[in-house]
C-alpha cells in the first residue's frame, strides 16, 4: 500500500508540474476545449485560487503523511514550499500564463495548512 501511495504522490507532483508549466491551460483544454480558459474545479468567489489551495493541500498532506517517519520530512516540507513559489513564478515567463498573487498565496497556504495539521497530529500522538 505504501508503494502505491508513493507512486500516487509522485504522479500528483508530476501532474502539478506539467499543468503549471504548460503554456496555456491543459485543464481548460480538457474540460472546455479552450486552452485559454482556466476552469474553476470548485465554484467559489475566489476563482482559481481555491483550486490552487486545494491541490497543494492535498498533495502536501499526502506527501507529509507518507514521509512522516523519515528524515526526508523536513526536506519534503521545504521542497513543497519552494515548488509552490517556483511554479507560480514561472508564470511570469511562460506564454499564455500569468502570475497571480492570489494563486501564489493559495499554493503557500495549502502547503502550510497540510504541514501544521501533520505537526498537530504528531504532537497529539506523542502525548
The total of structural domains in the chain comes to 1
For the question of whether the overall pTM of this predicted structure is more than 0.85, the answer is: yes
- Which domain does 15 fall in, by range? 2-126
pLDDT of residue 34: 84
Report residue 61 as a C-alpha cell.
498532506
Mean pLDDT by 10 residues, the chain (127 residues): 91 94 83 79 75 94 89 89 96 90 95 96 85
Give residue 98's pLDDT: 87
Instruction: Provide the pLDDT for residue 28.
Output: 80
CA gap 16, 40 in Å, rounded? 16
Contact 50, 106 (CB under 8 A): yes
Amino acid at each position: 500500500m505504501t508503494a502505491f501511495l508513493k507512486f500516487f504522490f509522485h504522479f500528483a507532483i508530476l501532474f502539478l508540474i506539467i499543468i503549471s508549466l504548460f503554456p496555456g491551460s491543459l485543464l481548460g483544454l480538457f474540460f472546455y476545449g479552450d486552452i485559454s480558459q482556466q476552469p474553476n474545479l470548485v465554484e467559489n468567489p475566489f476563482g482559481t485560487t481555491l483550486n490552487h489551495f486545494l491541490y497543494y493541500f492535498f498533495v502536501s498532506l499526502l506527501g507529509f503523511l507518507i514521509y512522516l517517519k523519515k528524515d526526508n520530512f523536513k526536506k519534503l516540507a521545504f521542497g513543497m514550499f519552494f515548488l509552490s513559489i517556483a511554479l507560480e513564478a514561472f508564470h511570469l515567463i511562460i506564454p499564455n500564463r500569468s502570475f497571480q498573487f492570489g494563486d501564489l498565496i493559495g499554493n503557500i497556504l495549502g502547503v502550510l495548512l497540510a504541514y501544521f495539521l501533520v505537526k498537530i497530529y504528531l504532537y497529539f500522538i506523542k502525548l
